[in-house]
Structure 1
Amino acid sequence: MLLRETDQKLGLIQAVNRVIQDTRERGRCQHSQVELLRQRIYGLALGYEDLNDHQALRHDGAIQTAVGVLNPLASPSTLHRLEQRHDKQSAVALHEVLLQQFIASFSKAPRELILDFDATHNIVHGEQEGRYFNGFYDEYCFLPLYVFCGQHLLVSYLRPASRGAAHHAPAVLKLLVTALRKVWPKVRIILRADGGFCVPRLLNWCDSAGIEYVIGMASNSKLTAKAGIWRLLSLTGYKASGKPQQHYGEFPYKARTWRQQRRMIVKAEHNPLGNNTRYVVTSLTDSPKRIYDEIYCARGNMENCIKEQKSLFSERTSCHHWWPNQLRLLLSGFAYVLMHGLRRLALQNTVLEKCQMDTLRLKLLKIGGVVIRNTRRIRILLSSNFTYQAVFEKAVLSLRSG
């Protein structure tokens, strides 16, 4: 029921329903499209990854109440047909819903936005459309692109694994920047990514569009030579003290494929495991230490967000055709938005405000109760010994206020 209250507060699934065309004959349909979407997205949030799970779940009184019906919900076959109707046009429209949800989360214009770009792999489950072998992951997989701003999901874009991590990243960034600056013309936008996104096209577009960036870069012989002084300081300091040493520096650098020099930050570290030197190319003017430690390393938060996304079964892209798999990735994304909305809107200043989504699911959503329905009302009875009773009550009050 907390998922339903959060959904009502955000208007999320209604927005999703509006942008997906329902081509069915209404007179022959028992379940509306919005009911199908609620059933599928709530199910993902609750830990039911497969359509087969809904063969039993469709008879659950609590899920029926959350979806808003009193009769059995849709069968796995009906949900399967929903996924098979997905196409490129609806994929674009659904990404616009993600962006509008992000914009609506601000009560006033932000001064700065840091957009985190990253790719991960989804292992394929057979001879699926778009499957390729990726040497880095040593598996047949897809390579979806994710964009987060803080803990807000902006992009969940399925791609084949035959291209690099930065495939289509410049185009995605351009679309995001155009949409964000249309709403907030003066907002400062910073791109943050790892070395897989350090490609000339992306850097050149950022320079021309006035987008600042902090992007990791893989080591090479020229960078190693230029960073020699800081590497030597770390080595000698470690030999003298026996403790890990870190030194930060900067120098101008121009790769062969770049059209101009750029600022390169170096972090030279030496520890018991040996040398560990990292490089970051940036347009920021802060000190090297702050750029690396406080700004670049903060992208580790996105790694946690991707793990949470995977806990909502974003890797379950097991359909044969391409566009149904893209829809599954987006449905997982909407389940993430729903869970993050619950955490952001209802759990502030509680013991669960920073818990991971799979923990939140077990402690606050998948709990025992009794559903009693009659002709006038529906009652859900929870145990008086429920550990998080006070948190549950606070969440309900928070979601129903305002």
Structure 2
Amino acid sequence: MALGKVGRRVIEAAFDGGDLASDGGVVLLRQVDERIGLTRAAARVFEDGRRQASVTHSVRDMLAQRVYALCCGWEDVSDHNVLRRDLALQTAVGRVDDLASGPTLSRLETAATPAHAAALNGVLVEQFIAGHARVPKELVLDIDATHVPLHGEQERAHFHSYYDNYCYLPLYVFCGQDLLACVLRPSSRDPASVLSALVKLLVQRLRQTWPGVRVIVRADSGFCRPQALRRFERWGVDYVIGLQKNSALLQRVALAELYLADAYKDSATKQRLIGEFSYGAKTWGRERRVVARLEHDARGANPRFIVTSLTGHAEVLYERLYCARGEAENRIKEAQLDLFGRRASCHKYHANQLRLLLAALAYTLMIKLRCLGLQGTELAQACSATIRIRLLKIGAAIVRNTRRVRLFLASHHPLQHVFEAAARALASP
């Protein structure tokens, strides 16, 4: 290919460089995976119904191949028809021959069952527990739903008027930056329909390891259901959940709203007030503590309400605890966009659930790379997309013989020191 000139020199290019890879940093993912045992744990719970005498690619190798590729930015199964011969990916997976092809990986996805989904969610919880060297005193579970747009004839596809599209509505549970569960749901179901059951399973497992831990559920108003609140109280789980505004709530804060409106009219500056009162809807059976955040600016009044079982100052509960749930939305974007959790292009519903979980495993691997290998570097707070571009997408020439595999990484890569620091950190016990 002729690409112009530099002075008198002609620029030419061709894809004949030999055993070169664009993802030389994938070997760091192998180190993280070996350290935490993520794909091996996932493979152990993934029942393999194939005739073992005819198996060439183990479930563990296929899961590692798929997860590592997602981390490196290869979201489609069809990419593996070429990637299977990539020496860097082969080395990371632990093979010296061709990896699984696209059709083979597709058969893995279409063989997924609800039991696989439950078991892989269990792997996420076990990874979270194993990552704590000390017993935590308090865990805040952030629960939120998002949408996965559909553009085909996928099973259980329904039109959702809010998103104006056919979609799924997966439910995510985070604790800090750690992903504990992701459950695919049809968009025809209430977002809170599996909330209680999911929280119960998680709390039981967490308290099995840490009996005295305090668990707080944090969510927006889409998950405020009387049955869930009653169950949380019965299970000893605290909560701080958004409350949809209604005429009764607005009436309780009407005088405060008038005061803020007058103050804004006099000062022309945004007015804000946080207070609390007891409130009980007819379906609640009793009154509960409600915190109100009132604001008034050029756009008018903007009241927000939360219901909580917690004690403490109302302003602290709202600003420091409830508002912090916005960080979970950033983590969802990372799993959905950076690691391709929205690629629900399989026809079968449970195959799409597996794809969601593969993205969750990739997210977990990238988070562990950041925590275990990148502390103290300029990538210590980087998102998955930044880590991929700056640390994994490194050009490398690969030489493989009977004694060793050598990766000749790009000499002028600007973050050599970060790569070396991560390799040393991940190699230490």
TM-score by length of 2: 0.92
- Confirm whether residue 101 of structure 1 aligns to residue 127 of structure 2: yes
Contact 1:122–1:142 (CA<8 Å) still a contact in 2?
A: yes
Contact 1:115–1:149 (CA<8 Å) still a contact in 2?
A: yes
- Confirm whether residue 134 of structure 1 aligns to residue 160 of structure 2: yes
Look up the equivalent residue of 1:257 and give its one-letter code.
Answer: T
Distance 2:91 2:319 in 1: 48
- Confirm whether residue 335 of structure 1 aligns to residue 366 of structure 2: no
Q: Identify which range, 132-141 or 225-234, moves more after superposition.
A: 225-234
Look up the equivalent residue of 2:186 and give its one-letter code.
Answer: P
Residue 307 of structure 2 aligns to a residue whose secondary structure is strand
Distance 2:399 2:259 in 1: 71
Distance 2:190 2:303 in 1: 23
Offset, 1:144: 0.6
Distance 2:351 2:359 in 1: 12
Q: Give the structure 2 partner of residue 152 of structure 1.
A: 178
Q: Give the structure 1 partner of residue 331 of structure 2.
A: 305
| Residue 170 (structure 1) aligned to one of 184, 192, 196 | 196
Q: Give the structure 1 partner of residue 117 of structure 2.
A: 91
Distance 1:59 1:125 in 2: 31
Q: Give the structure 2 partner of residue 373 of structure 1.
A: 400
Look up the equivalent residue of 2:262 and give its one-letter code.
Answer: T
| CA offsets 1:347-375 (integer angstroms, 9 cap, x no match) | 11111111111111100001111111112
Aligned residues: 402
Give 5+ residue unaligned stretches, structure 1.
Answer: none
Determine which structure has greater relative contact order: mean sequence separation of CA pairs < 8 Å that are 6+ residues apart, divided by chain length.
2
Q: Give the structure 2 partner of residue 397 of structure 1.
A: 424
Q: Give the structure 2 partner of residue 5 of structure 1.
A: 31
Q: Give the structure 2 partner of residue 78 of structure 1.
A: 104
Distance 1:230 1:7 in 2: 55
Offset, 1:33: 1.6
| Bigger Rg, structure 1 or 2 | 2
Percent identity between matched residues is: 48
Equivalent runs, 1:3-402 vs 2, <5 Å? 3-310=29-336, 311-402=338-429
Contact 1:233–1:247 (CA<8 Å) still a contact in 2?
A: no
Look up the equivalent residue of 1:345 and give its one-letter code.
Answer: L
Look up the equivalent residue of 1:144 and give its one-letter code.
Answer: P
Contact 1:370–1:382 (CA<8 Å) still a contact in 2?
A: yes
Look up the equivalent residue of 1:391 and give its one-letter code.
Answer: V
Distance 1:93 1:297 in 2: 32
Look up the equivalent residue of 2:85 and give its one-letter code.
Answer: H
Look up the equivalent residue of 1:188 and give its one-letter code.
Answer: R
Q: Identify which range, 110-119 or 237-246, moves more after superposition.
A: 237-246
Contact 2:394–2:410 (CA<8 Å) still a contact in 1?
A: no
Contact 1:269–1:276 (CA<8 Å) still a contact in 2?
A: yes
Look up the equivalent residue of 1:147 and give its one-letter code.
Answer: V
Contact 1:252–1:264 (CA<8 Å) still a contact in 2?
A: yes
Q: Give the structure 1 partner of residue 13 of structure 2.
A: none
| CA offsets 1:127-179 (integer angstroms, 9 cap, x no match) | 11111111211111111100000000011100110012111100000111111
Distance 2:227 2:109 in 1: 35
Residue 294 of structure 1 aligns to a residue whose secondary structure is helix
Offset, 1:11: 0.4
Contact 2:260–2:296 (CA<8 Å) still a contact in 1?
A: yes
Residue 115 of structure 2 aligns to a residue whose secondary structure is helix
Residue 248 of structure 1 aligns to a residue whose secondary structure is strand
Distance 2:63 2:200 in 1: 30
Distance 2:419 2:205 in 1: 36
Structure 1 segments (4+ residues) deviating >6 Å: none
Distance 2:29 2:118 in 1: 25
Offset, 1:121: 0.6
Q: Identify which range, 236-245 or 40-49, moves more after superposition.
A: 236-245
Look up the equivalent residue of 1:363 and give its one-letter code.
Answer: R
Look up the equivalent residue of 2:127 and give its one-letter code.
Answer: Q
Look up the equivalent residue of 2:427 and give its one-letter code.
Answer: R
Residue 136 of structure 1 aligns to a residue whose secondary structure is coil
